[in-house]
Structure 1
Amino acid sequence: MDLLGSTSIVTVATCTLNQWALDFDGNLERILQSCQKAKEQGATYRLGPELEITGYGCEDHFLELDTILHSWQSMVELLCSTATENLLCDFGMPLLHKGCRYNCRILCFNHQILAIRPKNALADDGNYREPRYFTAFKGGSKPDSFSIPSWVLDELSSKGCENHPPHVPFGNVFLQTFDGVQVGCESCEELWTPKSPHIDMSLQSGVEIIGNGSGSHHNLRKLENRLELMMSATRKCGGLYLYSNQRGCDGAARLYFDGGAIIVCNGKLLAQAPQFSLEEVTVISATVDLDDVRSYRAHIPSFGVQAIREQSEDTGTHYTTVRVPQARILLPRGHARGVSDTIPLALSTPEEECCLGPACWLWDYLRRSGASGYLLPLSGGADSSAVATIVGAMCHLVYDEVTQKSNAEVFKDLKRICHISEEQQKSWKPSSPQEIANHILHTVFMGTENSSNVTTSRAKRLGAAIGSYHLTVPIDLMVKAVIQVFTITTKLTPHFQIHGGTMAEDLALQNIQARLRMVTAYLFAQLLPWTRSRKGFLLVLGSANVDEGLRGYMTKYDCSSADLNPIGAISKGDLKRMLAWAGDRYKHEVLKEIAGAPPTAELRPNASTKGEGGNDDAEHSQLDEDEMGMTYEELGWFGRLRKIGRCGPVSMYNKLVHIWKETCTPSEVGAKVKRFFYYYSVNRHKMCTLTPSYHAEANSPDDNRFDLRPFLYNTKWPRQFSTIDRMVQKDEEQLCK
């Protein structure tokens, strides 16, 4: 290295990209934009997200050779583009090598692939099934040789990118540039493993820059954990760590990739991209003196001791140096760029996450689905009001992008969704988020004689505050018609229990109302654009929360059945806190009123009133928690212990008998646990038909995507419940001593 001609200072860039599964042309355009923006910020190294060329959510399309073919087509364009010249690029794409399919990082510089690093640790839990599509690389101490497809070499040559080597290193490798900088790779899951690659690369070879191309979805309270892993990694080992992530709903309907690109050095945060944004391409950069990394490591005695051991023993995974004399990334002497300062961490509150994450997800889904907006059955209760609030927040985000940030892409999508004519497009601009909502969100209160004036009023006031196109639709005629058909056929007329009927009659009458609301919702979703002299169709939004899904406290195929559900993996407690937060944020006072109201289905006559209809100004007497036989707080405990804690009935009792010891006796805890597991198992069939939901919490009961459990149970749980009974007896006896 020429000490007089260069410094130890480098500017690096990472990005968040709103990629879309199999949208190869769109993905390529966004990648090129990120490269150009990185160069404009003075960067000589650019990191991109995991599988950015294909989009992460291709799923079984990864098994098709077409996906590999189109990936190479995009790679040819990237190699030949001027946007990637003099820029060390780390791209993510799938590859075939010796009959195996790998999830790879492709390191390129000036029209050439320098090396390929396949992923070692594949994500295979929760929402992820990477081993279904890819092989985890377990190579030896020496890199393999990857043969570039001959047609790729021909294409490169025809486009003026001649002399590309026919073979490149493939395996556990890192780069050493002409100016002595060592650059390594991690891929998403590898950061979360007990012994991450950055540890081996740091100790074995002193790799200074490590880039993690990731496809990580949003989960409540997850960003802080993600960042802590990076801070901890560089705090212990030193180094400059870059994290890149996808943003948006890229095809896997339930996941939203929440961006949040990050640059960390020696345990300090240097740059952070927004977690929630409608921007398609976000690039952040930082300028770092790599001598600070070398000095930091050298002052840690344990780093030196362990580095010597790793360098002298062939233990674990061995990483090989690939020297690339054609690549230089350090800034020249005399540059005007200063070293980046540490910045404070920006974290969203859980209430913000509950609102803004699904809001961004809904915008992505809307603009890519071809729909003209959303239709929401709005009951005036907490759940449907939370969904309305989320769509309202989406409209605020869109309005800010259009009016404050002059985001041309968002404005283009908005005009297309709203079917603004070419003549109007020249002068039209939304005057408020409410104007956008009036185009996009249609809310329908579907009342019966069992509905109260209280909820009718709340739904109407909330619709007005958000700006939705709101309708109050009485469905009693439909309900009576269905009952009349039954009566004509059987000569019998069902009644509610309060009017002398049986439980079977009562449930049937409730379910008629619920299911007719679903039918009505889809009717209005198809025809409301027509009634407003507009084109297109509306997507129906559901509003069953995670607790109700887990308990099965819903009618199968009622208005909880929809096209999308923004809150299907969010607990009632988090939703109520979000409503209170949104009430302050958006100045909607009615949201605080809704958050404080007792949850009610309003499918039975109101027993608290004198008349049979129950349509007065009182709160309804049919309360959710009474009917479920458990509180929402208890459901939260059951859900977290069942999924996150991996508890069956017995282990759940063992934990709760201690957690609830101040408020419940062992026999009460045992009864609650058995009641939960009975209703969970008897209603499991409902979870198999849940509307695709935004994945926000790890206790989601989403069947066959995230929560892989049986469809049919022995609902008596004989061995489990008898064991609990014996434990209860023993615990009660112990209390009496």
Structure 2
Amino acid sequence: MKHGYIRVAAATPDVKVADPEFNRERICELIKEGIKRHTKLMVFPELCLTAYTCGDLFGQDALLIKTQKELKEILKATEGHDLLCFLGMPWEWGGKLYNTAVAIQDGRILGIVPKTNLPNYSEFYELRYFQPGNDIPVMVKWEDEQIPMGTNLLFACEDNPKLVVAAEICEDAWVPNPPSIRHATAGATVIVNCSASDETTGKDIYRRSLITGRSASLVCGFIYANAGEGESTQDLVFGGQNLIAENGALLAESKRFGNETIYGDMDLERLIHERRRMTTFPQADHTNYMVVPFKMKQEELELKRYIDPRPFVPDNAKERNRRCEEILSIQAMGLKKRLAHTGCKHGVIGISGGLDSTLALLVIVRAFDMLEIPRNQIHAVTMPCFGTTDRTYQNACTLTKTLGAELIEVNIREAVSLHFRDIGQREDVHDITYENSQARERTQVLMDMANKLNGMVIGTGDMSELALGWATYNGDHMSMYGVNASVPKTLVRHLVRYYADTCGEEALSHVLLDVLDTPVSPELLPPKDGEIAQKTEDLVGPYELHDFFLYQILRFGYRPEKVYRMAVYAFTGLYEKEVILKWLKVFYRRFFSQQFKRSCMPDGPKVGSVAVSPRGDLRMPSDAVSRLWLEELENL
């Protein structure tokens, strides 16, 4: 439960039809296993204590009496444990029989949730046995206790207000207006579904889509436990497809046609942050609901959840290529609109032979091709100075010529040296003035050349640099339109790689691959033995770490302690804990102190769910203090 994580499970027990004793034994075995695994919430299939396919046997008193007896044994198995279980079983009340999910914890029944929508078509005929459930809870007697029974029950954890559970049963998830919608708007963060959905061809695909889609639209966790082998009888076969989803993402799925228990570590803080961020998600309204409190002790888990070390870059090659093509199109379409709106026919870009300017040039080429503007009206300016290496210079020249743009060379060494004399800067003092003077001179050249050509300066800086403030204010920080402004550095690399792999031009692919192989550097310090002397990641830290920090902090608002913990899991075997902590501190310091640069950044297309534009996603004061965040890291 620490940091909002909770271990959940969807369990399919072996069952025998109409044999509650055998079924109880298998259910208790799974409960015992779940407790050993520190599971806090476990969901079982629909009517699993009797089996779903009992048919007219549901009308037999012998079966119903035995079921109640075996329920008592299950309650005993949960005594002394805070595992919350939802168990499918028939429940008799008021002279009628109901298909229910019974909520159990620590030897007690917390509540009984009846099924609302009873299918009575095709292979289903539940109205023959069961009564549709009541929404408004009523109190029913169990032993010497009064237990709430109704669809509108919220099971709320007193020790963690973020955990609020509601239940529905099988068909309830398939109807146009499922109970889960009102459960979520009433405040439920986790929906459980006890199901007995038989198998037909292609049904698994629809089922998976249904559950993941519902978790996305309701911004919730969803645990779906399905009946499996053992239920199959007469004309029906059950495959036991269990699913655990979280806000559209599938955390775990069982194999079909074999009974299995799946586990997942759900992130409740992520769900709450997303709901809080979305102004269109309604405020929780408990009207017509009964809130059932329960306790659950806080426990730190060894996370079983996969934490992606590169959240901006899909692991799957096919999906990654699709994403790259989409992002390149968004970048190009944004620039196309700006060029068309201003009537601009000339683009000016500083080309360094590095990753960012390479990507920007590729985007400009796409936009010009869309507008049918000749590529020779793209003016790529290389501006060698004290730190330029032959490798990057040659790559810049080759890339420009291969793409058909105009190459312009302006050596700024003399201009910068004259500027040094004007301001009294010694050329052998390689300080911040030495570096920034070069960056600002380059920007001046680009801006004035754009004026001369009646053109537009296209910025090359990426989102990772903006997050860290790794840009010279009013130098490379400034342009007339920044096409890379919401593309993180880790993604820049994959976009260039994708272009190299798909362009179909050997010469272009060759130079792009060499750009990819070149260390990231602003090249503002003199080379050593002809090689790049100033490597960015040696100074500010690995970009893959900073991009990970950026995503978790801005997308989900996680606190520093949790971001650190996630990074340790994500980068196990790649970075030591001390290294991760060091660069996380650097990230927070720079992110806060450099906001003034982002507050006046140029327009640029948003391509993903995280962006730092002051007009879009990040309205952050330039003078905010980072102490609170850094103190938490110091206390780790």
TM normalised by structure 2 equals: 0.49
The higher radius of gyration belongs to: 2
TM normalised by structure 1 equals: 0.42
